[in-house]
Structure 1
Amino acid sequence: MASAIARVPRRLGKFVPQQTCLMLCDMQEKFRNSIQYFPQIVEVSNRLLRAFKVLDLPVICTEQYPKGLGSTVPELGVAEHDVPVFDKTKFSMCLPPIEEIIKDKEIKAIVLCGIESHVCVQQTALDFLDAGLDVHLVVDACSSRSMVDRMYSFERMRDAGAFLTTSESVILGLAGGSAHPSFKQLQKIIWDSAPDTGLLPARQQPLLTAITDSLASPKL
C-alpha cells in the first residue's frame, strides 16, 4: 500500500556514472613543497583518475598559470592517461572549453579534487553549484598550504551544497556493487587503504586503527 505521505524531492548525490566527470585542479610542480600532504593528495587523486579511466568516464585537468607555477606533476598520471589539460589564470575551473565539454557530454555531477582547497577548488565548486551541477568534493584529495584554510573551506563548500566524500566512497559509489563488470579492476585500485591526508587529529589515529583492526579480526 502506497504511503499517504508525499515524498519531498531531495538532493541525495547518488551517482549516475555516465553523467559524472572527474576534475583535477592545479596539482603543479611549484606547489610540491608548500601544500599540506601534497604527495598523498596526488596519490589519492591518481587513484580516482585510474578508476575513472577503468570506467571510461571523462576526466579534466587544469593548470594555474603554468608559465610561473610549472606543469602538472608527472605522478598524477595525466599524460599517461591522455587527460586533457587546460591552462588558466582564473582561479575557477569553470572555463568556456570545460563548460562545452560538460554540456556536450551531458554531465550533471563533478567529482572535484586538487589544490588549493580554499581558492581554486572552492571557487570551482561554487561556480558549478551555481550552474546547477552536483559537486562531490573529495576531502582526502584536496588540500591547501594552511590546514585552517583547508578545513574551513570544506565547511564553506558543504554549506553551499557540495557533498563531502572520500576517494573510496566515490569509486565504490560509481561501481554500485560487486556485480559491476569492472569491479575487480576497481578493487585492485582500492585494495590498499588510501594514505593519511591529515583529516583526523593525530591523537585519533591510534583509536581509528584499533577499531579497524577489531572489525577485521576473525570472531571466535
Structure 2
Amino acid sequence: MHLDEEKVGLLIVDVQGALARKVNDSQTMICKTVKLIQCCKLLNIPVVVLEQNPDGLGRTVPEIETHVASDPHFRKFTFNAVAGTDQCSSEILAYIGEMELSRWLVVGIEAHVCVYQTVTGLLENNHTVEVIQDCISSRESSNAVLAIQNMREQGARISSFEMTFFGLLKSCQHPKFREVLALIK
C-alpha cells in the first residue's frame, strides 16, 4: 500500500496535559510528532487534533500546539473518537467523513486506550489506517507493544515516521524532498 498525499490526513490523539509527560519516552514521541506535523504541513496533508476531556486533562502540549493552532481541534469524552455514541464523537466522525480522505496517519497517547480504540473505529468505518509507531506511547511500554500487535491484527498498517514520509515522497525528485529531508535529519 502506498500513501497518496492527496488522500491522507493526520489524526493526533490526546497528546495533552501532564499525561503526555508521563508516557514512556515522552520527549522523543513529542519531538517526532512535531517533525511529523511539519512534514504534513509541507505536503499539505490536513491535520485534525483530538483532546480527551481537555478541561480535566489539559490541552495539547505546547510543543505540538504551536504547529497545529490553526487546525481543527475536537474535544471528546469517549476513548474511541469516532464511536458516534455521543455528540462529540458523532461530530468527529462526521467531520472526518466530510474530508473524504480514505487514509489516516494516527499518532498519540495512550496507545492501548484512545489510540487503539480510535484506530479500531476508523477501520470499522472503512478507513485505511497507518499507525506511526514512534509517535505513539503509553505509560507502560508493554501496553504500547500490545496495542500495536492488536491494531496490526485488525488491519492497521504499522509504520515509522521516516518510513511513512519516504513512502509519501516516493522519489528524491519530489518537489518537497529536500525540505522533508531537512526535517528528518
Q: Same fold (TM over 0.5)?
A: yes
More moved, 127-136 vs 71-80: 71-80
* Corresponding residue SS for 2:18: helix
Q: Does 1:62 align with 2:50?
A: yes
Q: Distance in 2 between matches of 1:22 and 1:168?
A: 15
Kept in 1: contact 2:169–2:177 (CA 8 A): yes
Kept in 2: contact 1:28–1:69 (CA 8 A): yes
TM superposition shift of 1:178: 1.2
TM superposition shift of 1:81: 5.2
Q: Distance in 2 between matches of 1:29 and 1:91?
A: 16
TM superposition shift of 1:102: 2.6
Kept in 1: contact 2:12–2:108 (CA 8 A): yes
Q: Distance in 2 between matches of 1:153 and 1:80?
A: 26
The alignment yields a C-alpha RMSD, in angstroms, of 1.4
1:27-74 deviation line (CA, Å, top 9, x unaligned): 112213421111111111111110110011110011111111111001
Question: What TM-score does the superposition give when structure 1 sets the normalisation length?
Answer: 0.77
> Residue 133 of structure 1: which of 123, 127, 132 is its match?
127
TM superposition shift of 1:80: 5.3
- Regions of 4+ moved over 4 Å: 78-81
Question: What TM-score does the superposition give when structure 2 sets the normalisation length?
Answer: 0.91
Q: Does 1:22 align with 2:16?
A: no
Q: Distance in 1 between matches of 2:129 and 2:68?
A: 26
Kept in 2: contact 1:54–1:182 (CA 8 A): yes
Q: Distance in 2 between matches of 1:128 and 1:80?
A: 22
**2:86: which partner in 1?**
none
Q: How does 1:150-169 map to 2 (within 5 A)?
A: 150-169=144-163
Kept in 2: contact 1:46–1:77 (CA 8 A): no
Unpaired runs of at least 5, structure 1 = 1-12, 192-220
Compare CA radii of gyration and give the structure with the larger one: 1
Q: Distance in 2 between matches of 1:184 and 1:72?
A: 29
CA gap of 1:165–1:80, structure 2 versus 1, over 3 A, is closer
**1:50: which partner in 2?**
38
Matched residue count? 179
TM superposition shift of 1:133: 0.9
